[in-house]
């Protein structure tokens, strides 16, 4: 599905839509709904930061591996860092607000869930893996060449995969291992772009 909003071409893949429908169908705890809302907040943080820096998104593509926002003009290193940090910043703000609500016993279970999901998304996006915000932030801060950042990405992925296998072996928890495989696929897809 493709449409335009304010001159920005937005594409949502069929596979993404089918995956969302499937996950919503089997989500009994509503944690997926919270995660989806938190991801929308994260991506909105990037778009708001772009607007504050007078950048206009040329296209937004939503695929199962993530959201790709393309700009129509080149940014300075500083602007790239701020745009990449925008999503993380918004997740941290939401985490802080709902942590305060939790502390004051306001909708405790809901507040804690929202805070934890947003904190996880913020930390996850800080990983220095190609396709995530942490990679872009470090690349622009250090002005590092792509091949050096590739090494950082691969080392991070190998460590995550090792910890994921250990976690699965000792505690039968496949979460980190599945996340590592997802990040490996994301990295491969980003290298092909």
Q: Model pTM?
A: 0.84
If DSSP codes are grouped into helix, strand and coil, which group holds residue 60? strand
- The arithmetic mean of pLDDT across residues 1-23, rounded, is 86
Evaluate if residue 193 carries a pLDDT over 70.
no
Cβ pair 82, 32 in contact under 8 A = no
Q: What percent of the chain is predicted at pLDDT more than 90? A: 37
What residues does each domain of the chain span? Answer: 127-193
Evaluate if residue 159 carries a pLDDT over 90.
no
Cβ pair 69, 107 in contact under 8 A = no
Cα angle 11, 20, 99; round to 5: 105
Give 61-106 pLDDT, tens digit per residue: 988 777 888 887 888 999 999 999 999 999 999 999 999 999 998 8
- State how far the alpha carbon of 26 is from the alpha carbons of 30, 95, 117, 131, 182, in Å: 9, 26, 18, 28, 20
Judge residue 180's burial from the number of C-beta atoms within 10 Å of its C-beta, 0-12 exposed, 13-18 middle, 19 or more buried.
buried
Name beta bridge partners: 3. Answer: 10
Residue 192: its pLDDT value, please? Answer: 63
d(CA 98, CA 113): 9
d(CA 162, CA 118): 25
């Amino acid at each position: 599905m493709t449409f335009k909003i304010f001159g920005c071409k937005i594409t949502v893949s069929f596979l993404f839509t089918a995956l969302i429908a499937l996950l919503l169908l089997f989500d009994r705890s509503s944690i997926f709904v919270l995660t989806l809302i938190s991801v929308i907040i994260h991506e909105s943080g990037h778009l708001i930061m772009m607007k504050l820096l007078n950048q206009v998104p040329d296209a937004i593509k939503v695929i199962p591996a993530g959201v790709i926002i393309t700009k129509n003009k080149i940014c300075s290193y500083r602007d790239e860092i701020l745009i990449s940090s925008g999503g993380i910043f918004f997740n941290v703000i939401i985490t802080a607000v709902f942590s305060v609500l939790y502390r004051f016993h306001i909708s405790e279970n809901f507040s804690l869930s929202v805070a934890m999901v947003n904190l996880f998304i913020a930390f996850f996006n800080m990983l220095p893996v190609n396709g995530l915000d942490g990679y872009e932030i470090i690349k622009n801060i250090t002005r590092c060449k792509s091949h050096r950042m590739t090494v950082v990405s691969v080392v991070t992925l190998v460590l995550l995969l090792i910890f994921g296998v250990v976690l699965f072996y000792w505690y039968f928890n496949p979460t980190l291992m599945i996340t590592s495989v997802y990040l490996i696929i994301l990295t491969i897809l980003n290298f092909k772009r």
